[in-house]
Structure 1
Amino acid sequence: MWWIYALLSALFASLTAIFAKIGVSNVNSDLATAIRTVIILVVAWGIVLFKGENKGLQHISRYSLIFLILSGLATGLSWIFYFKALQVGQVSKVAPVDKLSVALTIVLSVIFLHEALTLKTAIGALLIITGTFVLIA
């Protein structure tokens, strides 16, 4: 079932790039990011409240909260730089470079999470990196 969610994520990430490129054409990229963030905030909290999942808020450990905050900061910075790149670059070149995050995540997961790096995963990461350079050259 995870792969269905992953495919939906890829679909919506693709639509995000297309819609964002159109949206930032005459708007400051930081302002565009802020508008997008408000929409995401409303949707995410709407889902949490609708499903009654806000009851777990008081049970979040300090450790988890610190890393959720760090993740949020990283996401925000990613979006700010992504929108700026979309504003000045071609979406067909910006999106593949952004997806280098997949290869970087593999490397960082080995370093920080001590996940096993299989030959298949290493080859996949190298293909992503190579494909990105082919697309942007």
Structure 2
Amino acid sequence: MWWIYALLSALFAALTAIFAKIGIKGVDTDLATAIRTVVILLLAWAIAIFKGSTETIGGLTKTNWIFLILSGCATGLSWICYFKALQLGKVSQVAPVDKLSVAIAIVLAVVFLKEPLSLKQAAGAALIIGGSLVLIF
């Protein structure tokens, strides 16, 4: 079941790139990111409220809060850089290079989370890195 959500995530990420490229024409990328963030904020809270997920907010630990906040900061910085890259480059180059995050996440998961690395995962990460380098240079 996880792979269905992963494929949907990929589809929505692809649409994000197309919609953003059209939407940022002649717009400051920081303003565009701020507008996008408000929309995401409203959508995320609406879904959480609709599903009843907000009832468990009191059970979050200090560690949950710290790392969710850090994740939010990383997401925001990623979006700011992504929008600027989209404004300066082609979607067909920016979006795939942005997916280098997959390979970086694999490496970071092995180093910091001590997740095992299979040969298949290592090969996939290497291919992503290679593809990104081809697109950059």
Scaled by the length of structure 1, the TM-score of the pair is 0.97
Q: Which residue of 2 aligns with 1:70?
A: 70
- Tell me the SS of whatever aligns to 1:111: helix
Letter matched to residue 8 of structure 1? L
Letter matched to residue 65 of structure 2? L
Deviations 1:36-67 (A, max 9, x none): 00000000000111111111111100111100
Q: Which residue of 2 aligns with 1:114?
A: 114
Deviations 1:112-131 (A, max 9, x none): 00001111111110011112
Q: Which residue of 2 aligns with 1:94?
A: 94
Q: Which runs of 5+ in 2 are unaligned?
A: none
Q: Which runs of 5+ in 1 are unaligned?
A: none
Q: How far, CA to CA, are the matches of 2:51 and 2:64 in structure 1? A: 21
Q: How far, CA to CA, are the matches of 1:131 and 1:88 in structure 2? A: 20
Q: CA deviation at 1:134?
A: 2.4
Q: CA deviation at 1:135?
A: 3.1
Q: CA deviation at 1:136?
A: 3.5
Summarize the alignment of residues 1-137 of structure 1 with structure 2, pairs less than 5 Å apart: 1-137=1-137
Q: How far, CA to CA, are the matches of 2:83 and 2:135 in structure 1? A: 19
Letter matched to residue 59 of structure 2? H
Following TM superposition, where does structure 1 have runs of at least 4 consecutive aligned residues deviating by more than 4 angstroms? none
Report how many aligned residue pairs link the two structures.
137
Scaled by the length of structure 2, the TM-score of the pair is 0.97
Q: CA deviation at 1:9?
A: 0.1
CA RMSD of aligned residues (A): 0.8
Letter matched to residue 124 of structure 1? G
Deviations 1:77-101 (A, max 9, x none): 0000000111111111111110000
Letter matched to residue 85 of structure 2? A
Higher mean C-alpha displacement, 30-39 vs 115-124: 115-124
Letter matched to residue 97 of structure 2? V
Q: How far, CA to CA, are the matches of 2:121 and 2:88 in structure 1? A: 33
